[in-house]
Structure formats: structure tokens, C-alpha cells
């Protein structure tokens, strides 16, 4: 007699497992712990075999009968349902391992451990989880076509995030290249999308590059009446022209007064390569003063709210605003552009300038060579730059105009 849903639902477990038969070999297996599962008894190649279908009530009576009928169809084709089920599981596992999301996360984990700062890694993962995975993450990487990826990127673009769309495109290209290298696909469809997105309007950090205006800025910084560590950070920003995040996270353990060097650890750098900043005479003087105040702390520039944290990422920009400089005139990041522009105009070797800006070589061998080759030149250039800025800060403006 065929089972009913009421019968299977109301049957209580016993001390020993038992079966409730349905039809055509299907039965419910009732375990002593009360779990109920569907199984199919069938014969293949002269042997009786069981096929597990699933747990009740996750698999309903109707669904279990459908599964039974599908298994019986396979038997008519001389296919073992158990073997077919195992093959299907293997295929599903392979498909999951080769899904875009699975490969992307594998790529992300490798890069996070070897190349990126934690903040950079988080930014990329959030971008993928928000804008890419929901649409193509579950698809096998070999199944994704260029128009499909373009639709995903266009969604980002249509909300006005053109730069994000381009960055997502770049990340997807890196993921496809990784998949090619690991033998999981043969073609990078991102290469087919070159030029398909709206071009990004180049955004430049506001900066001051006129020598007269730079002199005025330096005098304003020297006369800054706010928090002393903030004043020191403002004084060092144009001298060292490191990224604002690198400056505010500087630790006393990284500063060597004897060698006059600041060694920024690889994990703090964008490209995960240690960066050496020569400490010119003027910088040593500023740091010596600052050391009297914060030398017992971890950070050179601790937060005013907690000495266990560095100053906030908005501190320097906020100080510039209090000094009267708008965000259209100058940002903390703009000191890098200031130095790059003027040092190039003054004829310094472009490679030396780029190395000091920590625009790292992707080729690690070349990076190591250039690191050793350019450090003496960088020290000369940095001292020249500090002397130049010091001169701008004290020179008579009338004389500078005449010159």
C-alpha cells in the first residue's frame, strides 16, 4: 500500500530502525533517533542495491517519487543510478571549484598574503562581493561570455561609478589571467572588453606647484598653532612626500636616526615592498623635536583620542582647511604631485623620482636592482629638495619674482 504524507509525518521512531514501504522499491527509513530518509531498493547487474534520495521533510513524498522514477529510467538504459549520482556529485564539485567566485577568492587570498596591504585587499573583496559575485559568481568561469560580463560592469557604470567599473574590469581581468595560469580556463574575456566602458575622467589631487605659493604654504605650516604632532606631520609631508596613510601610520621603531632612514615595512606599502625614505637634515630636526613628545608611544603621530591609534586619515586635510586652503587648492596627497612636478622640472632622473614616490616595479628582480642602484641618488635628491623648500620658505618674495 502506498504511503501518505500523514503516515510518514506521524510515524514515531522505535528502538530499532525500520522501513515504511511505498511503491516500486521506494521506502522511508526511520532511524532510532527519529530521522527519516528516503531510499530506493533496486537491482543492477544481478545485485540488490540501495540508493539514498534524501531526508524527509526536506525531500517531500512527491519529490522522492520523482527521484525514484528518474532512477528507474536510468535502469532501463542500463545505467546504475548510484554511479550516476556519484558522477553528478563530482561534476557539481568540479563546477563549484571552477566557479568565478571560487577562483576569484583563491586569487584574492594569494595576493592578499603576498602583495597587498590589508586595506587594499579589503577594498577589492568588497568590490567583488557587492558588484560582481551576485551576478556571475556562481557561474563556471569557462561559461561566462564577454557580453555577460559587460552587462555586469555596465550596471556599475550606470549608477555613476565609472571609476569603480574600470577597477572591477581590471580585477576581473586579473582573475581570468590567474585562471588561465592554473589551467581552469583558456581565454581572458576581459581583453575583449577594452574600450567598451566609458573612459574615466582623470582625477588629480589638488596641489600647489607655483614656487611663490609653495613658500607661502610652508610659512603657514611653520606658523600652525594647532596640535604639535599635526604641525610636525604637516612639515614632513612636503619634505618626504610619502602617501598620507604611510605618514600617519609611521612608528618610532621604523625610524633610524643613525642611518637617517625611515624604513616602511612591506605590509604597510601598497605593493608590499619595503620602502626606504632618506631622512634629510630638516626632517631629522623635526623628528628630534617630535620625539620629545611622542617617543614613548608607538606612533609618531598618535590620535588625540587614543595614543594606541594613529591620527585619523582626515587630520592633515582638516588642518589645511583651518589654514585656509580649500580642497580644490590642496590636499595632503597633493604634496606628492608637488614634489614630482618640480623635481622633474629641475632635471632629476625620472627613475629616481619614481622610486622615491614608491611607484614600485612589478618585476621584483628589477625592483631590487633599482632599490640598491638609486638609493644614493635619492638621498642627494631628497636633501636638495629639502634645501629648496627651506629656501622658498624664507626667501624674499620680491627677489623670487625677479629671479
* CA–CA separation, 252 and 234 (whole Å): 17
Query: Active-site residue 90, yes or no?
Result: no
* CA–CA separation, 403 and 401 (whole Å): 5
CA 346 to each of CA 333, 339, 349, 376: distance values in angstroms, whole numbers, following the listed order: 21, 10, 9, 18
Query: Active-site residue 333, yes or no?
Result: yes
**171 touches 124 (CB < 8 A):** yes
* CA–CA separation, 49 and 68 (whole Å): 13
Element (H, E) at 50: strand 47-56
Read off the C-alpha cell for 202. 582623470
**37 touches 52 (CB < 8 A):** yes
Query: Active-site residue 270, yes or no?
Result: yes
- Please name which of 139, 151, 59 lies closest in space to residue 51, comparing C-alpha atoms: 59
Q: Per the residue annotation, which of 108, 248, 333, 378 is the catalytic one?
A: 333
Q: Per the residue annotation, which of 65, 68, 243, 272 is the catalytic one?
A: 243
CA 225 to each of CA 197, 220, 231, 232, 319: distance values in angstroms, whole numbers, following the listed order: 48, 10, 8, 11, 10
CA 33 to each of CA 12, 29, 59, 387: distance values in angstroms, whole numbers, following the listed order: 10, 11, 18, 83
What are the φ/ψ torsions at residue 173 (nearest 5 degrees)?
Answer: -60, -40
| Strand-pair partners of 275 | 264
- Please name which of 195, 290, 183 lies closest in space to residue 247, comparing C-alpha atoms: 290
How many DSSP H helices and E strands does the chain contain?
17, 7
The residue written with cell numbers 621603531 in the block is 253
Q: What own/partner pairs with CB < 8 Å and gap ≥ 24 does 323-326 have? A: 323/220, 323/221, 323/224, 324/220, 325/217
Query: Active-site residue 369, yes or no?
Result: yes
- Please name which of 57, 29, 56 lies closest in space to residue 41, comparing C-alpha atoms: 29
Query: Active-site residue 263, yes or no?
Result: no
Query: Active-site residue 384, yes or no?
Result: no
Strands 255-256 and 47-56, bridge-based pairing: unpaired
Helix/strand/coil for 93: helix
Which of the residues are catalytic? 243, 270, 333, 336, 359, 369
Amino acid at each position: 500500500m502506498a504511503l501518505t504524507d500523514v503516515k510518514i509525518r506521524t510515524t514515531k521512531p522505535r528502538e530499532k530502525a525500520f522501513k515504511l514501504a511505498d511503491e516500486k522499491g521506494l521506502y522511508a527509513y526511520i532511524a532510532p533517533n527519529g530521522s527519516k530518509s528516503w531510499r530506493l531498493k533496486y537491482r543492477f547487474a544481478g545485485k540488490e542495491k540501495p540508493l539514498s534520495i534524501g531526508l524527509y521533510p526536506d525531500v517531500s513524498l512527491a519529490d522522492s517519487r520523482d527521484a525514484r522514477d528518474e532512477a528507474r529510467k536510468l535502469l532501463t538504459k542500463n545505467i546504475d543510478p548510484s554511479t550516476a549520482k556519484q558522477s553528478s556529485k563530482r561534476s557539481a564539485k568540479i563546477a563549484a571549484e571552477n566557479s568565478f567566485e571560487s577562483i576569484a577568492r583563491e586569487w584574492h587570498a594569494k595576493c592578499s598574503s603576498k602583495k597587498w596591504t590589508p586595506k587594499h585587499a579589503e577594498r577589492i573583496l568588497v568590490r567583488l562581493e557587492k558588484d560582481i559575485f551576485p551576478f556571475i559568481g556562481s557561474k563556471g568561469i569557462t561559461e561566462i561570455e564577454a557580453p555577460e560580463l559587460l552587462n555586469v560592469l555596465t550596471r556599475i557604470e550606470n549608477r555613476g561609478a565609472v571609476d569603480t567599473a574600470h577597477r572591477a574590469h581590471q580585477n576581473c581581468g586579473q582573475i581570468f589571467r590567474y585562471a588561465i595560469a592554473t589551467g581552469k580556463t583558456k581565454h581572458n574575456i576581459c581583453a575583449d572588453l577594452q574600450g567598451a566602458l566609458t573612459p574615466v575622467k582623470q582625477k588629480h589631487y589638488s596641489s600647489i606647484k607655483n614656487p611663490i605659493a609653495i613658500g607661502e604654504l610652508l610659512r603657514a605650516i611653520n606658523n600652525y598653532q594647532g596640535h604639535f604632532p599635526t604641525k610636525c606631520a604637516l612639515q614632513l609631508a612636503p619634505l618626504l612626500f610619502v602617501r598620507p596613510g604611510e605618514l600617519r601610520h609611521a612608528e618610532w621603531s621604523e625610524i633610524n636616526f643613525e642611518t637617517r632612514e625611515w624604513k616602511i615595512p612591506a605590509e604597510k606599502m601598497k605593493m608590499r615592498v619595503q620602502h626606504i625614505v632618506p631622512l634629510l637634515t630638516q626632517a631629522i630636526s623635526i623628528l628630534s623635536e617630535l620625539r620629545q613628545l611622542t617617543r614613548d608611544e608607538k606612533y609618531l603621530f598618535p590620535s588625540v583620542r587614543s595614543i594606541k591609534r594613529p591620527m585619523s586619515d582626515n587630520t592633515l586635510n582638516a588642518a589645511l582647511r583651518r589654514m585656509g586652503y580649500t580642497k580644490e587648492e590642496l590636499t595632503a596627497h597633493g604634496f606628492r604631485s608637488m614634489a614630482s612636478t618640480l623635481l622633474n622640472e629641475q632635471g632629476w632622473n625620472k627613475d629616481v623620482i619614481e622610486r622615491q614616490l614608491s611607484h614600485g616595479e612589478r618585476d621584483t628582480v628589477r625592483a631590487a636592482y633599482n632599490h640598491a642602484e638609486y638609493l644614493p641618488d635619492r638621498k642627494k635628491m631628497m636633501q636638495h629638495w629639502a634645501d629648496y623648500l627651506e629656501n622658498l620658505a624664507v626667501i624674499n618674495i620680491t627677489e623670487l619674482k625677479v629671479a
